[in-house]
Structure 1
Amino acid sequence: MSKNTTSLNVKIKVWDFPVRFFHWGLAICFVASWASAELFDNAMQYHLYAGYATLVLILFRVLWGFMGSTTARFSSFIRSFATTLKYAGTLHKPHPGQQIGHNPLGGWMVVVMLGMLFAQAGTGLFSSDDVATQGPLAFWVGDTLSDTLSGIHQQLFNFLLALIGLHISAVLFYRFFKHDNLISPMITGYKDLPGGTSAPPLHFVSNGRAFLLFGLVMIGVLVPISIV
């Protein structure tokens, strides 16, 4: 008796290593930033380090969004308002996802989080606690503007907490209602699609190019900070 191959899942590569490294590295940096500022005394130096690492990751991800693999590129997941709204209308249907990469709503979430995190890390460069710790560029803007940016830096964290909560809620919604596991592909890089699904051709850029780009971004961020 022959097997019905259309009922078998199709495993395809969805996420390259640079995207997965960025995702989990950013999560670690965010936790480290929060813990060093809120949980531990005399740990603000580590808060600065986590902020520098966040800035490097964000800038790398933006560049990788134009130079990276198919699913990493903004052009593959930034959709029009009409397309996004149409997709949102299908959320009530509990069928397994067949989306390759980010869906339209997830794509816009990526853009918003990148912008918020960049603003968070950027304002941190100019912030000061008026006691013992200040960002490396705080002296460039004067006390008044530094205090303003410090307040923005603190308020942005609350918005980021809300966004992260929404992100985690969405992942759980897709896992248990839509029967679409978004976590495993971001760990392994591979996703199981329902049998019969036709996956589009995907192009994956070499990790070597990603390492070179990441190194250049790191130099571009850390060298100016270290010499100011």
Structure 2
Amino acid sequence: MTSDSSPDLVTVLFDIDGTLVDSNYLHVEAWDRAFVAIGHPVDVWRIHRSIGMDSAQLLENALGDEAETLGDEAKEHHNRIYLDMTERLRPIHGAREVLAALSERGHRVVLATSAPQQELDALLDVLDVDDSVDAVTSSEDVEAAKPAPDIIETALARASTPADRAVMVGDSTWDVIAAGRAGVTSVGLLSGGYGREELLAAGAAAVYEDAAELLSKLAESPISLRPAR
């Protein structure tokens, strides 16, 4: 964990689900089973396309006009099913290593997620990267999750960093859009199942396969190439 980063170093904000922990497809499975449980099956591809966005928007996308009446029940089922599967969570290749490398170089590292606290606790247990992280956000910190910029702005405040001195790393178009709305440069990873071209089209400055490739190309990435003040 950094104590006094150089002003020439950017703060790096990381999404967790699909970016650092291989959890997106567990969320897809949990939502699939949740929608079946409430008698409203949803095509799985539609669920996947909404992973990473605010749960209220996900429910509206999946349930349409019935989101208001069925959404809370579906969310309860999802939370229970997902938490029952957390033993299947594992870090994405290179996740721990890239956080450690950034911290050792003097960057501030912030985990910028809107995951509920119970889910966040499970993710942090899997990552085990306390020594590399300066701050963490959760759903308790904001009213609206991505693609709203709120969680990015909260992460910036936690790190006492202006938007032009930060880079966001995420796996979904929603991460990229949220970063753009907050005025933050973003890097996309393919590890969450979103495509390279759609991440670039959403505004990502660069796209890598996963955290391991980002680490191997760190010197030429937007994280290292951001201009000094």
Which protein shows a greater Rg? 1
The answer to which structure has the higher strand fraction is 2
Higher RCO, 1 vs 2 (CA within 8 Å, ≥6 residues apart):
1
TM-score for both structures, normalised by structure 1 = 0.32
Instruction: Answer 1 or 2: which has greater helix percent.
Output: 1
What is the TM-score when the length of structure 2 is the normalising length? 0.32
